[in-house]
Amino acid sequence: MTERLAAAEERADALRKELAAAGRAFARLPDPPEPLTAGELAARALSGRSERKATEIPAGPPDRAPGTIAAARADLAAGRRSAVDLVEEALERARAGRHLGAFLRLEEEEALLEARRLTGSPGVAGQGGSGGRPLFGIPLSVKDIVDVAGMTTTSGSKFPHEAARSAPAWRRLSEAGAILLGKNNLQEFAFGVSGDNPTFGRTRNPHDPARIPGGSSSGSAVAVATGMGYGSVGTDTGGSIRIPASLNGVFGLKPSYGAVSRAGVTPLSWSLDHVGPIARSAGDIGLLFEVLSGWSSGPAPPPAAGSTPLAGVRVGVPLDFFYTDLIREAREAADGIVAGLVRLGAERVEVRIPEVELSGVCRNVLAFAEAAVVHRERLAARPDDISEDVRRLLEVGTVLSAADLIAALKGRRLVAGAFQRLFEEVDVLVAPSAPAGAPEAGEPLATAEDIRPGLIRLVGPFNFTGLPALSVPAGFDGLGMPLGAQLVGGPGRDFAVIRLAAWLEASGATPMRQPSIEPPG
């Protein structure tokens, strides 16, 4: 234990040195920042929803792509398929792809029973009545950190609990008519980005099973990418939705902080945790987010005539931080998303956000300290039942001080303020989701960075600031592995980034490939 604490103190001291350097920068400011609380971030999101200062994004074209919720709903309404058909097809793919490790638990009998009940209920001929439920008969999955009444929640760990009631996130989806296929694999306690779970096994990238799927919502992204259901609910503390969405070539939204309830979801770091959807289209993301949040997208202005539906939209392209230390294909993928928006009439605006350099160390301090509090009893009573990598991070949190935490919260106000000013000049920011494609398990990124800091680097700032960030498919690396780009909006501007993604998708700027689910020969 003494050696463990010494290692934790050493890492905490390194964080303190970085914080001290940031503190000296704070002291030179005309108005040194005060701590910024999570409650203020949530309030900003609610305020941002009602503001009309930013450019209003027109609604995109209807989404009817095969394999999407929109296409399945159309089939159900027309009587071409039933809820039973949808569930059976998803279960068949899940069984065929067991080697990918996407599910910890498949609810085969229960899902089919619910599908038959819905199909046999009165209403639309042969399909059952939707009763205004937008997800009627649609099979979905949830990351096994989300409580579902009567089921065990493992949180990917050796510390399971029985859920007496469903988390609001799943309850809303269920009330909207969704059918639960099962619970997805994840990184232990959602504290990691590789998709490797020492208790339940590794999740594998379906585009190349030797490579990582990203995490911590690894099973959710793999299930969506392979058609094991039409969407999933993940969580995102430092990129845990957007990283696997990017590495598996699907869409993943980290909403504005507080937009989706975190009740009934095992916490990691309550001021950085977000709950959000993973899906195969921007339209599906929008529908799932609307149900999960209870927010309404509201009326959208009609698009401008001709080939410039996004005329007046200002697209921020950061020249610093987000476009450094990338492989060539990752830069080209993000540039392609910017070019796609410009072709639709948007204006490219080059911006700089030097304050974002502080976000990494400050986010780490918050994450480690809060996670140590969340898991303090487990760490004290059964440390050997926590994997070494996660235990080390939790132990760092136990030796950080209140002064360290306050310094990190001051940094949060400084960085959040810089982004708040930025979104007075632009409507959306475009940045790569990851600096490179998925590496082989146990290997560093193609940028030579270690997996954890490398994959968090470009996505973590938006957990820190609470801004909505949507990862969209944007291209492929030299080995054919998917790459993503983030569309980031101001507080509460979730539907704005979703609509922009829908325009990009309709224009062909978000390339996707259906991976094989056949076991390797």
Q: Helix 69-78 to helix 282-293 angle, to the nearest 10 degrees?
A: 80
Q: What is the DSSP string of 78-92?
A: HTSS-HHHHHHHHHH
**Got the DSSP string for 18-60?**
HHHHHHHHHHTSSSPPPP--HHHHHHHHHHHHH---SPPPPP-
365: which 2 tokens? 């301090």
* The predicted structure's pLDDT at residue 123: 44
Note whether 141 and 156 are within 8 A (CB).
no
CA–CA distances in Å: residue 240 to residues 33, 252, 434: 29, 9, 12
Cβ proximity of 250 and 228 under 8 Å: no
Tokens 């944007």 belong to: 474
Report d(CA 237, CA 370) in Å as an integer. Answer: 11
CB 76 within 8 A of CB 121: no
Q: How many helices (H) and strands (E) does the chain have?
A: 17, 13
Pair of tokens at residue 140:
């979905």
Q: From residue 10, how far is each of 6, 269, 356 by CA, in Å?
A: 6, 22, 25
455 close to 434: Cβ distance less than 8 angstroms = yes
Tell me if residue 216 is catalytic: yes
Cα–Cα nearest to 393, from 368, 375, 373, 365: 368
- Mean pLDDT value of segment 265-284: 98
Rounded average pLDDT over 36-50: 89
pLDDT for res 239: 98
Q: Is the separation of the CB atoms in 269 and 366 below 8 Å?
A: yes
Which pLDDT tens digit goes with each residue over 155-180? 999 999 999 999 999 999 999 999 99
Pairing of strands 179-184, 274-279: unpaired
Here the tokens at position 179 are 């059918």
3-state secondary structure of 421: helix
Question: What's the one-letter identity of residue 24?
Answer: R
Each residue of 222-262: pLDDT tens digit? 999 999 999 999 999 999 999 999 999 999 999 999 999 99
Start-to-end C-alpha separation, the chain: 45
Decide if pLDDT at 48 tops 90.
no
Mean pLDDT of the chain: 93
- 17 a catalytic residue: no
Question: Does 77 or 132 have the greater pLDDT score?
Answer: 77
Mean pLDDT of 9-30: 80
pLDDT reading at 145 higher than 60: yes
- Least confident stretch, 50-54, 75-79, 135-139, 437-441: 50-54
Q: Does 143 participate in catalysis according to the annotation?
A: yes
**pLDDT value of position 195:** 96
Catalytic residue among 157, 166, 216, 281: 216
| Per annotation, catalytic residue among 82, 157, 220, 240 | 240
pLDDT bin (cut points 50, 70, 90) of residue 125 is very low
pLDDT at residue 51 in the model? 63
Residue 196 pLDDT > 70, yes or no? yes
- Which domains does the chain carry? 2-506 (3.90.1300.10)
- Marked catalytic residue, from 82, 130, 141, 143: 143
The two tokens of residue 8 are: 């934790």
The whole-angstrom separation of Cα 148 and Cα 170 is: 7
pLDDT in tens, 373-393: 999 999 999 999 999 999 999
CA 398 to chain centre: 27
* Block residue for tokens 């009326």: 299
Helix runs in 317-387, H state only: 328-343, 359-374, 376-381
| pLDDT band at residue 18 using 50, 70 and 90 as cut-offs | confident
Confidence of residue 66 (pLDDT cuts 50, 70, 90): confident
